[in-house]
Amino acid sequence: MTQTNQDFLKTLLAVDQDVRKVVPMKRFGLDFEIKALTPEEANKIQQRSTKLSMVKGQGKTIDEDKFNYLTIATACITPDWTEVAKAMDVLDAIDAIKGKLLFGEVAYLLGEIAELNGLDKSDEEQVEEAKN
């Protein structure tokens, strides 16, 4: 079935960018709520995670740990990691995440966030999903 430009436009405009998911966190006995990141949020995370290298010719590098923690802090609706940081009396959301989540929990949340943002599928899978 071939879509007309009008059908395509109608469908595109009807899709909400506010995509959310509940993620069970077994150790806490709680459900975290995460959201998909907008391109603007992803860009801001990347900018905050980028640092200039002091070594000549190396340019900019991404601090992957900072990138990952900022991704979790930005994508989590519940808990609000800024509020957790205040309650823990630590500097920021990154310190709160480091202080409360185990390595595997960080990896699990990052995987769920990636999936919610469509980063878990190949180009072919995304094309097939879009067709349906």
Tens-level pLDDT at each residue, the chain (132 residues): 577 888 888 888 888 888 999 999 999 999 999 999 999 999 999 999 998 877 777 788 899 999 999 999 999 999 999 999 999 999 999 999 999 999 999 999 999 999 999 987 655 665 565 555
Residues with Cβ < 8 Å from 46, sequence gap 6 or more? 62, 67
Residue spans of the domains in the chain: they are: 24-131
Whole-number Å distance between alpha carbons of 56 and 130: 45
**Domain 24-131 CATH (choose: 1.10.1370.30, 3.30.2220.30, 3.40.710.10, 3.40.50.920):** 3.30.2220.30
Report if pTM > 0.95. no
Whole-number Å distance between alpha carbons of 17 and 71: 17
